[in-house]
Amino acid sequence: EKGGFDSFMEKEIHDQPDAVGQTLLGRSDVSGNLVLDELRIDESILRSVDKIVVLACGTSAYAGQVAKYAIEHWCRIPTEVELSHEFRYRDPIVNEKTLVVAISQSGETMDTLMAVRYAREQGAKVVAICNTNGSTIPRESDAVLYTHAGPEIAVASTKAFLAQITAAYLLGLYLAQLRGNKYRDEIADVLTDLSAIPAKIQAILDDADKIKQLGADMVNAKSVLFLGRHVGFPVAMEGALKLKELAYIHAEGFAAGELKHGPIALIEEGQPVVVVMPSSSARDSLHAKVVSNVQEIRARGAVTIVIAEEGDTSVEAYSEHVFYVPASPTLLAPLLTTVPLQIFALALASAKGYDVDQPRNLAKSVTVE
């Protein structure tokens, strides 16, 4: 059932074009309007929402962090992302006007379930984004948007992550459509751009030999840092998490802008740093700032591994390794830039001879608090 791959993880990384494609399927009507049939919360309630709180753990929380950038941009609704286990222990402000989005691949994570129960007790409406039909979190939520990634077997999440981002984006676009704000016109364009993503993921998978080789070559790395900015920041954290989970290497994801406020002290000769470049459609200044981050760390001896958009040659002079992903609008870039980071972690862990499907000490779903 590994479909000819060496591990479920490798298979699931290769399932990602379908995971995104299936999650997008059948979500718009003939006139291009987004229809989310499963979303059974009264439209008047969705129109009156004044805050969104995304609750999740692990990789799912990083999907939430990516989604925040898009939801706030399209909907102009203040959106917070919080780890489920932190949320209910700090007396959070949640009420009838709060829409909680609970993201869980398994639908069984106890921390997220308890947070959902707490939020509903405070009067919030809860939409679950979930990959497992009929699991507990969707059953206890007011509505559910299923991701259609197919069963995810490997403990470390890959295809569910991309499907969660896709589903959260659909939710954001739907709210924007419903609330009729100025970003309404963008919706059709974004849906078209989203529909082009599966083929772009496939192109990354088809051209992965170089990043696999780099992962294998780095088998002796003791620590790898990841930098990203804007939506690239949660992508950097997810890339670091994959490496921790699979290869048991110390890895941290940082916001690139934070570098000078602390993490740059970690840079010494030979320190590998993976940099997720903003797409060139990001405001120019953002792109230029990350280019200068790459220069700064390189000058201090870092070995820079850069994930950039095709055609972006700006960092070639400062990078030991550059890996290109197809161009996309900024907000959609995480659906692409994450993929080489997954392949890198898989290759490095495989070179170490580790069981990538069942990393030590981890469970696929944690059903205790």
Q: How far apart are CA 249 and CA 203, in angstroms?
A: 28
Q: Is 342 a residue that touches ligand BG6 (CB under 6 A)? A: no
- Spatial neighbors of 335 by CB under 8 A, at least 6 apart, are 20, 162, 165, 166, 197, 200, 201, 328
- The answer to whether residue 59 forms part of the interface with ligand BG6 (CB under 6 A) is yes
Q: Answer yes or no: are the C-beta atoms of 273 and 302 closer than 8 Å.
A: yes
Q: Which of 127, 144, 155, 246 binds ligand BG6 (CB under 6 A)?
A: 155
Binding to ligand BG6 by residue 136, rule CB under 6 A?
no
Phi/psi at 126 (5° precision): -120, 125
Residue 208, interface with ligand BG6 (CB under 6 A)? no
Quickly list H helices, 57-135: 58-75, 84-87, 110-121
Q: Does 60 bind ligand BG6 (CB under 6 A)?
A: yes
Verify binding: residue 65, ligand BG6, rule CB under 6 A. Answer: no
133 binds ligand BG6 (CB under 6 A): no
Of residues 56, 242, 271, the one with CA closest to residue 159: 242
User: Interface with ligand BG6 includes 156 (CB under 6 A)?
Assistant: yes
Whether 24 and 171 have beta carbons less than 8 Å apart is answered as no
Q: Is 330 in the site for ligand BG6 (CB under 6 A)?
A: no
Size of the site for ligand BG6 (CB under 6 A): 17
* Calpha distance 36→368 (Å, rounded): 32
Of the pair 105, 328, the CB lying nearest ligand BG6 is at 105
Least distance between ligand BG6 and beta carbon 11 (Å) = 16
* Active-site residue, 200 included: no
Burial class (CB in 10 A: 0-12, 13-18, 19+), 280: middle
The phi, psi pair for 98, rounded to 5°, reads -95, 130
**CB within 8 Å of 367: residues ≥ 6 apart:** 108, 109, 110
- Residue in 57, 70, 191, 347 binding ligand BG6, rule: CB under 6 A: 57
CB 193 within 8 A of CB 70: no
**Contacting range for ligand BG6; rule: CB under 6 A; set: 20-28, 42-50, 154-162, 331-339:** 154-162
Q: Which is nearer to ligand BG6, 58 or 278 (by Cβ)?
A: 58
Q: Tell whether residue 147 is a contact of ligand BG6 (CB under 6 A).
A: no
Q: Which residue is nearest to ligand BG6 (CB)?
A: 58
CA–CA separation, 227 vs 225, rounded Å?
A: 7
Site stretch for ligand BG6 (CB under 6 A), options 40-48, 103-111, 185-193, 282-290: 103-111
Taking the complex as a whole, how short is the minimal distance between the CB of residue 54 and ligand BG6, in angstroms?
Answer: 12
The residue from 22, 65, 112, 350 that contacts ligand BG6 (CB under 6 A) is: 112
Amino acid at 338: T
Catalytic residue among 244, 289, 352, 364: 364
Least distance (Å) from ligand BG6 to the CB of residue 312?
30
- Residues 165 and 68: their CA atoms lie apart, in Å, by 10
Which residue lies nearer to ligand BG6 by CB, 58 or 198? 58
Residues carrying an active site annotation: 364
> Which residues form the interface with ligand BG6 (CB under 6 A)?
57-60, 104-106, 109, 112, 155-157, 362-366
